[in-house]
Amino acid sequence: MEKREDRRTAMSKRMMKDALTEILKEKDIYHVSIRELCERADVNRTTFYKYYGSQFDLLSDMEKDLLVFLADVIRELESDTIKAIETACSYLENHLEFARLIFNNNVDPAFPQKVFSMEAVKEAVLKKCSDRHDENELDYLYNYMTYGAYRVVYLWLNKDNRESPHEIAGILAKILMY
């Protein structure tokens, strides 16, 4: 019986997240009403408020899903940079509408900083570079690599004829390895 409730909860949350993504293509987060969100998701307000206090909480949960996924991928595939990038890009491609919204800063201008401050990202970059650079250079290198990689992903997400996640992973890995 509990699994059924978990599935129902997951489905309700997925419907609300999909609805918010659709609405954010039309208007900014500050103009999203809970009524409109619930109508679009086909859930009642009680269901919404059971899980979220506002549209901002829902957005934060969506960002958290992405950041947790990225952190897990980085930790699990730390020895295979290309596979980690490819897996992350595949996830972004599978969630393209939300990825475009969030990477384009249409929704949360603070999102890039959330990515750059992820411990998993910092640890992975520093682990790969600490043997070749002194401590003074590492902070500059970290910022250069992460901001640059973020911008490459941003450009990739917004292309009409995007490379495959495998191809962009190869391009990014080449850039990052230099």
**pLDDT means over runs of 10, the chain (178 residues):** 70 96 93 96 95 96 95 91 93 95 87 90 79 78 88 95 95 84
Count Cβ atoms within 10 A of the Cβ of residue 11 and give its class: 0-12 exposed, 13-18 middle, 19 or more buried: exposed
CB 169 within 8 A of CB 82: yes
pLDDT (0 to 100) of residue 3: 52
- The model's pTM is 0.86
Tell which residue, 145, 142, 136, 148, has the closest CA to residue 122.
142
Rounded distance, CA 108 to CA 102, Å?
6
| Radius of gyration for the chain, computed over Cα atoms and rounded to the nearest angstrom | 18
CB 105 within 8 A of CB 152: no
Per-domain residue ranges of the chain = 1-53, 62-177
Within 8 A by CB and 6+ apart from 138, the residues are 126, 129, 130
pLDDT (0 to 100) of residue 2: 46
pLDDT (0 to 100) of residue 59: 96
Q: Domain 1-53, CATH 1.10.10.60 — does that match?
A: yes
Tokens of 75: 């930790």
pLDDT (0 to 100) of residue 127: 80
Residue by residue, DSSP assigns 106-167 as SS-TTHHHHHHT-HHHHHHHHHHHTTTS-HHHHHHHHHHHHHHHHHHHHHHHH-SSPPPHHH
